[in-house]
Amino acid sequence: MWGIFLSRVEIESFLKSFLLFFVSLGVLISSLFYLNYTKEIQTLDEKLFSQMRACSYDLRCEEFSIDFVAHNKENFYTLYKDANLSSYYPIPNSEIFMMSITLSEKNYNLKLQKLQNEALINLSIFLAIVFVLSIIFSFYALYPLRNALLLTQEFIKDILHDFNTPIATLRLNSSMLKHEIGKNKKIDRIEMSVENILKLQTHLRSYLQNDTTQMEQFSLEELVQNHIELLQKSYPDIQFTSTIQNITLRSNKESLSRIIQNLLTNSAKYNKKNGSVSVEFDSEKKYLYIIDTGLGIKNTKKVFDRFYKEQERGIGIGLHIVKKLSQELGIKIVLKSEVGNGSSFRLDLNRLTLN
């Protein structure tokens, strides 16, 4: 339900704020109630002891039992808490016997149970109030973050929209130049750069839209092969291979396509000269592997963080988008990498694979 109104980062922020507020106040209130409960027990004991003393004078003891026992080492006018609650009083003109006034364990436990029930009811009421206040507080704390995110998204959308005119102009003029002077490496580089900008636009739009709900069936082999054919033109010195055959998936095709495109592009972009990129599928475990012979990654834990990058090229959001889309699709990614020897990305497609 929350996912309809809040983004993933907003839900995470809300839950953390709620848990911090509710747990801290809950622990504090529970501690105070426990201290108050122990004081209530002391008050109960003192009240019962006063009733025992009064009973020793008038012997009107409705809930206590009276007995006369041989004098031992017990002190007079002292409350003893063993299995029963008892106290001892002297008998005039008797040095051998003394009076024992006792409250049975059953009756004492009933009084304690009543105190516990009252304490638990009061604690539950207070925790319910704190629960509601925690939700209100969390939404209140989330409000500035939500506004900041919305402003940032609107700003990026405006920037992306403003990109369209200069990009269209670049594409048109490069096409005219190519028509006038024929094939030229510099024009090819310009066109490749324009395509990269268009890809960056697509990534940013997908990051903002966060739409992974539309499901469809498609061929994984065809999806991967299309990306390989496009990348082969941009990276002719890289050898691309794929061993995928007859694998049908059911998922959001566009989102999975972006995941694979980003991983394949990075594998080619940060590869060695005359390196290789291979795509393999383990039909038994339903794992998709993208393996390259590239430069490798130093910090495999931070590489999925937003704006983190280890090379000069790029802005550090490609793998963050991969992680974000993978979480939305329920795909677990495992990265293994060795600097200088390449990287291996493993995608768990168990939730998506149909055959």
CATH of residue 259's domain is 3.30.565.10
The answer, yes or no, to whether residue 128 has pLDDT greater than 50, is yes
Number of domains into which the chain is organized = 2
Tokens linked to 62 = 């409705």
Q: Domain check: are 140 and 223 in the same one?
A: no
The answer, yes or no, to whether residue 121 has pLDDT greater than 70, is yes
Work out the burial of residue 73: count CB atoms within 10 Å of its CB; fewer than 13 is exposed, 13-18 middle, 19 or more buried.
Answer: exposed
* Higher pLDDT among residues 321 and 20, named by residue: 20
Q: How many helices (H) and strands (E) does the chain have?
A: 7, 11
Condensed to tens digits (0 to 9), the pLDDT of residues 154-200 reads 777 777 777 777 878 887 888 888 778 877 777 777 777 777 777 67
Cβ contact 305:289 at 8 Å: no
Cβ contact 18:135 at 8 Å: yes
Work out the burial of residue 95: count CB atoms within 10 Å of its CB; fewer than 13 is exposed, 13-18 middle, 19 or more buried.
Answer: exposed
- Residue % of the chain over a pLDDT of 90: 27
Which H helix or E strand runs over 279?
strand 276-282
The answer, yes or no, to whether residue 32 has pLDDT greater than 90, is yes
What CA–CA distance (Å, rounded) separates 172 from 168?
Answer: 6
In the numeric block, the tokens 């834990």 are attached to 301
The answer, yes or no, to whether residue 4 has pLDDT greater than 50, is no
Among 114, 144, 174, where does a domain finish?
Answer: 144
Residues 6+ away with beta carbon under 8 Å from 76: 88, 89, 90, 98
- Residue 55 in any domain: the answer is yes
Q: Domain check: are 22 and 113 in the same one?
A: yes
Among 92, 121, 144, where does a domain finish?
Answer: 144
- Residue 43 in any domain: the answer is yes
Amino acid (one-letter) located at 147: N
Q: Domain check: are 140 and 218 in the same one?
A: no
- Residue 340 in any domain: the answer is yes
Task: Find residue 281's DSSP bridge partners.
Answer: 288
From 211, 212, 208, 204, select the one nearest 164 (Cα to Cα).
204
- Residue 225 in any domain: the answer is yes
Condensed to tens digits (0 to 9), the pLDDT of residues 240-289 reads 999 888 888 888 888 888 899 889 988 988 888 889 999 999 888 999 99
The answer, yes or no, to whether residue 295 has pLDDT greater than 80, is yes
Among 128, 144, 160, where does a domain finish?
Answer: 144
pLDDT score recorded for residue 110: 92
The answer, yes or no, to whether residue 234 has pLDDT greater than 70, is yes
pLDDT score recorded for residue 7: 67
What CA–CA distance (Å, rounded) separates 190 from 79?
Answer: 95
* Higher pLDDT among residues 185 and 65, named by residue: 65
- Residue 200 in any domain: the answer is no
Cβ contact 81:52 at 8 Å: no
Rounded mean pLDDT, 325-350:
89
What CA–CA distance (Å, rounded) separates 1 from 321?
Answer: 23
pLDDT score recorded for residue 3: 45
Q: Domain check: are 130 and 227 in the same one?
A: no
Average pLDDT over all residues of the chain: 84
Q: How confident is the model at residue 62 (pLDDT cuts 50, 70, 90)?
A: confident
Q: Domain check: are 21 and 123 in the same one?
A: yes
- Residue 229 in any domain: the answer is yes
- Residue-number span of the structural domain to which 317 is assigned: 214-348
pTM above 0.75, yes or no: no
pLDDT score recorded for residue 125: 95
From 95, 100, 93, select the one nearest 69 (Cα to Cα).
100
What CA–CA distance (Å, rounded) separates 346 from 252?
Answer: 19
The answer, yes or no, to whether residue 211 has pLDDT greater than 60, is no
From 355, 347, 154, 161, select the one nearest 255 (Cα to Cα).
347
DSSP code at position 252: -
Tokens linked to 34 = 């426990």
What CA–CA distance (Å, rounded) separates 160 from 173?
Answer: 20
- Residue 140 in any domain: the answer is yes
The answer, yes or no, to whether residue 1 has pLDDT greater than 60, is no
- Residue 190 in any domain: the answer is no
User: Could you tell me the strand order of the sheet in which 287-292 lies?
Assistant: 239-242, 276-282, 287-292, 342-348, 332-338
pLDDT score recorded for residue 314: 60
Cβ contact 335:303 at 8 Å: yes
Instruction: Supply φ then ψ for residue 81, to 5 degrees.
Output: -115, 95
